[in-house]
Amino acid sequence: MDFHALQQRLRRFANERDWQPYQTPKNLAMAMTVEAAELLEIFQWLTPEQSLNLSDDQRRHLGEELSDVLLYLVQIADHGGVDLDAAVERKLAMNAIKHPPKKS
Amino acid sequence: MDFHALQQRLRRFANERDWQPYQTPKNLAMAMTVEAAELLEIFQWLTPEQSLNLSDDQRRHLGEELSDVLLYLVQIADHGGVDLDAAVERKLAMNAIKHPPKKS
Amino acid sequence: MDFHALQQRLRRFANERDWQPYQTPKNLAMAMTVEAAELLEIFQWLTPEQSLNLSDDQRRHLGEELSDVLLYLVQIADHGGVDLDAAVERKLAMNAIKHPPKKS
Amino acid sequence: MDFHALQQRLRRFANERDWQPYQTPKNLAMAMTVEAAELLEIFQWLTPEQSLNLSDDQRRHLGEELSDVLLYLVQIADHGGVDLDAAVERKLAMNAIKHPPKKS
């Protein structure tokens, strides 16, 4: 996934629909949270085991909600001035320090 | 961003910490929503305009929260059996049909 | 609002539908978050000013989402063993200490 | 719980801290969602069974987060012009129609 190319596509998509005035990081963060909760809804009454064995329909639905979250996520990074690839590497390094492995 | 390579790294990271039993899509979806809300918290009392002009500290914080959401997102795709690159392309095509452009 | 009476009504409602196995605090917390996000969705593309001037339809929708959140909230308190009236008073006292008033 | 009295207390509390400009329904809805996610975080890695058997510390923490959600909820109702008691009764009636009981 080329985040920069995707961000350009999404900017063009928004421009063609006059959505720019709505595209503040604040609004996009709300929209991403709404989509995260729609994803959560898929699992809300499932047992942990059932969540590991999704039907084809549930998996397709999950793919749509994951995409919705990701599309807002890359737009927040774009409009908020964050280099997402660099931020992820930095976070992985922080996590490795915060949570030392149990095993050698 | 190579999602498959990242998913392998995160599986190894979880294995080294005995986290596998917790890594159900249900739990990961909860964790992703919690991180989405931590990102939302950055913007909660800001005006739309302020959210477009973040300080360096706010931008670094935003990068960390975006990464947290993304790391759980790719793990949900991995454990839920979703091909994330394909799902995003499919969703972009659906969005183009659902929201026709205003301009030619 | 008599929380105890409402909790009894909701327990009876769930029993009559065989919903008890799903009524764990974990699942109810997911459901409450989903409803909170549905409420958030009402405001997601509104300006702050527009959010202060809702139409009758928006206000009715808001009332439904507020109720959904509240109904799950009192069920979480019930199944989690929390006295909600006492917890609120305790939190108000904590908030008054945490945030001293600016004016005398 | 007298919602109207609580709303008056919270308005006074906000006034004494010059928080009125921030108290739009849009911002309050964001804040409520953030608190709902903090509550969700308590349960995120627990099994359903563990979520039914909280320690005293977990129960106290749960009470604080439930209160945070409720305090924002009544403020959204107040600033959004919703009569919360009436809205809840209306929603309970709607739910009874939407989900007919399985048992007589």
pLDDT in tens, D37-59: 999 999 999 999 999 999 999 99
B37/A42 touch (CB, cutoff 8 Å), yes or no: no
Output the six-digit token pair for D55: 């320690």
Terminal Cα distance for chain B, rounded: 32
B73/A68 touch (CB, cutoff 8 Å), yes or no: no
Please check whether residue C86 is in contact with residue C56, taking contact to mean a CB–CB distance below 8 angstroms: no
Q: Which of residues 41-80 of B touch C (CB under 8 A)?
A: 47-48
> What's the per-residue H, E or C state across chain B?
CCHHHHHHHHHHHHHCCCCHHHCCHHHHHHHHHHHHHHHHHHHCCCCHHHHCCCCHHHHHHHHHHHHHHHHHHHHHHHHHCCCHHHHHHHHHHHHHHHCCCCCC
Angle at D94 (CA atoms; ends C57, D98), nearest 5 degrees: 120
| Average pLDDT over every residue of A51-80 | 98
Nearest to B69 by CA among A69, D104, C21, A50: A69
Q: What's residue A102's pLDDT?
A: 81
Q: What's residue B79's pLDDT?
A: 97
- Nearest-CA distance C49 → chain D (Å): 8
Q: What's residue B98's pLDDT?
A: 96
Grade residue D102 by pLDDT with cuts at 50, 70 and 90: confident
Question: pLDDT averaged over chain D?
Answer: 96
Question: pLDDT averaged over chain C?
Answer: 96
Interface check for A33 against chain D (CB to CB < 8 A): the answer is: yes
Whether D104 shows a pLDDT value over 60: the answer reads: no
Q: What is the pLDDT of residues B21-44, one digit of tens each?
A: 999 999 999 999 999 999 999 999
> What's the per-residue H, E or C state across chain C?
CCHHHHHHHHHHHHHCCCCHHHCCHHHHHHHHHHHHHHHHHHHCCCCHHHHCCCCHHHHHHHHHHHHHHHHHHHHHHHHHCCCHHHHHHHHHHHHHHHCCCCCC
Please check whether residue C43 is in contact with residue C51, taking contact to mean a CB–CB distance below 8 angstroms: yes
Interface check for D87 against chain B (CB to CB < 8 A): the answer is: no
Question: Which residues have C-beta within 8 Å of that of residue B48, sequence separation ≥ 6?
Answer: A24, A26, A27, C47, C48
Q: Which residues of C touch B30 (CB under 8 A)?
A: 30
Q: Which residue has the tokens 């720019």?
A: A20
Provide the 10 A C-beta neighbour count for residue B76: 27
Output the six-digit token pair for D41: 């975080």
Q: What's residue B104's pLDDT?
A: 53
Q: What's residue B102's pLDDT?
A: 81
Q: What angle do helix axes D25-43 and C56-80 make, rounded to 10 degrees? A: 20
Q: Which residues of D touch A30 (CB under 8 A)?
A: 30
Q: Which CATH class is domain A3-98?
A: mainly alpha
Grade residue C102 by pLDDT with cuts at 50, 70 and 90: confident
What letter does residue D17 receive in the DSSP assignment? T
Give me Rg for the CA atoms of chain C: 17
C-contacting chains (≥3 CB pairs under 8 Å): A, B, D
Grade residue C75 by pLDDT with cuts at 50, 70 and 90: very high
Please check whether residue A28 is in contact with residue B62, taking contact to mean a CB–CB distance below 8 angstroms: no
Q: What's residue D61's pLDDT?
A: 98
Taking the C-alpha atoms of residue C81 and residue B33, their distance in angstroms, rounded to an integer, is 25
Q: Which residues of B touch C48 (CB under 8 A)?
A: 47-48
Q: Which residue has the tokens 């729609």?
A: A38
D-contacting chains (≥3 CB pairs under 8 Å): A, B, C
| Average pLDDT over every residue of B47-74 | 97
Output the six-digit token pair for B80: 């839920």
Which among D84, D91, D102 has the least Cβ separation from residue C18?
Answer: D102
Output the six-digit token pair for B92: 């972009």
Whether C104 shows a pLDDT value over 60: the answer reads: no
Of all residues in chain C, the percent with pLDDT exceeding 70 is 98
Taking the C-alpha atoms of residue A36 and residue A62, their distance in angstroms, rounded to an integer, is 11
Taking the C-alpha atoms of residue C62 and residue A88, their distance in angstroms, rounded to an integer, is 37
Q: Which residues of C touch A36 (CB under 8 A)?
A: 37
| Average pLDDT over every residue of C12-36 | 97
Taking the C-alpha atoms of residue C97 and residue A24, their distance in angstroms, rounded to an integer, is 34
Nearest to D33 by CA among D61, D73, D81: D73
Taking the C-alpha atoms of residue C9 and residue A44, their distance in angstroms, rounded to an integer, is 22
Domain boundaries, chain D: 3-98
